[in-house]
Amino acid sequence: MTRQLHLNAFLMTTGHHEASWRLPESDPYAHVDLAHYVRLARTAERGTFDSLFLADGPHLWGSVAQRPAGALEPLTLLTALATATEHIGLIATASTSYNSPYNLARKFASLDIISGGRAGWNIVTTAGAEAARNFGIDEEPAHAERYARAAEFLDVALKLWDSWEDDAIVADKAAGVWGDDAKIHPPRHRGTYFSVEGALNVPRSPQGYPLLVQAGSSEDGKAFAARYAEAVFTAQQTVEEARAFYADLKARTVAAGRDPDHIKVLPGIVPVICSTEAEARAHEQLLEDHIVHRHGVANLERLLHLPAGTLELDALLPAELPPEDAIEGAKSRYTLVVGLARRERLTVRQLIGRLGGGRGHLTFAGTPEQVADAIESWFTQGAADGFNIMPPVLPSGLETFVDHVVPILRARGLLRTAYGPRRTLRERYGLPRPANQYVTPALATA
């Protein structure tokens, strides 16, 4: 079978551009409107996307003056979207730092059952002291500690998802036996961060467990991804950087004893699409003109761990900045933003403009053909297995992509024209259903 793109629709309120809510077409209340998300999910499904994705964090980020703030809890929203769609995968972000394995494993198993095997988990460790203080912790845990906790969290979740064998339910009415206790396997886990005794109170789900997604690109993040992840959301600004990241992650996956085809690398792209390149550039400028720069300055100072009032709009970044080793928050995003500013000698104003659309993800303005060309170029040059599509304005940006870019990708043989017989999200990503760790495979007979 010819290698084809994996496309994920990253849905964010009125769009990824921070000023999108100010456009006449935008609904400032869309972030809490179920009908808005149903429309987006069905649009992505019409484009035969593999999946859609909701970001999340356990705190109110930044100033509510900047853009629509707060969000519906993603697992709750995706459960509603599961009933409004038939094929598309449903990926939710959930933190390993501020959840417990038992409750979260149960929620994802429930979503996988309700959706017929379409659930995915974007595993995050959650940076920032703001989140920590919402859970009675004065300062955020150290970067390495968060990833150590995440590894144990996921190991426990895997035990819980496997705690029911697939055929544990007998349903023998005549004998009066509903289930086989011998096929229930309590984890009885005792570890550094967690103690979990009993089996999950939900049967094993259609996929065995959800598609495991990860988004960190630090050294700790890449090590975690190589061990566990089946899809990786990443931010890269150039095809050269993307190729290097792709090759490194695939090599780490092999070193971890896994098949490199079982981890899909999906860079983010923010496509500004119009019928001509000039119109696309003008639309990009229109969005940038609506940015309120005081918010951008505050966000940038927070990311760079600088005191308030340090940055000047029409000056370059300070020559002296903290090294990445000193950053306990979003290490890889810190490095990407500083590298972008230094490489292109951007002023703070220009950098805010570049980050306004995708917070460090690649922004590309052009015609549908040019967007398709860029996607194909990265895909065929070993920089990506697919893309995280991040429309700057919603719903129009996703509809334009589906109506005008998707047909080009299909005509080039890069994207499916229909979903076909593969029904689970794992099947769409070319992944096997995981074996249950408590079941010994039957010996092959001669």
pLDDT digits (tens, 9 = 90+) for 152-167: 999 999 999 999 999 9
| Positions of E strands within 235-361 | 264-273
pLDDT at 443 > cutoff 50 = no
Q: What is the CA radius of gyration of the chain?
A: 22
pLDDT at 356 > cutoff 80 = no
3-state secondary structure of 423: coil
pTM of the predicted structure, to 2 decimals: 0.89
Confidence of residue 445 (pLDDT cuts 50, 70, 90): very low
Average pLDDT score over the chain: 91
Q: What are phi and psi of 213, to 5 degrees?
A: -120, 150
Domains assigned to the chain: 6-274+362-428 (3.20.20.30)
Mean pLDDT of 49-53: 98
pLDDT digits (tens, 9 = 90+) for 224-250: 999 999 999 998 889 999 999 999 999
DSSP 405: I
pLDDT at 444 > cutoff 60 = no
Mean pLDDT of 300-327: 79
Mean pLDDT of 61-70: 77
CA 120 distance to own-chain centroid: 9
Mean pLDDT of 167-178: 97
Who contacts 378 (Cβ-Cβ below 8 Å, separation ≥6)? 239, 242, 267, 384, 387
CA 418 distance to own-chain centroid: 23
- Which pLDDT score, from 0 to 100, does residue 358 have? 62
pLDDT digits (tens, 9 = 90+) for 309-320: 888 888 888 887
- Which pLDDT score, from 0 to 100, does residue 325 have? 63
Dihedral sign of CA atoms 299, 300, 304, 310 in order = negative
pLDDT at 370 > cutoff 90 = yes
Mean pLDDT of 53-79: 87
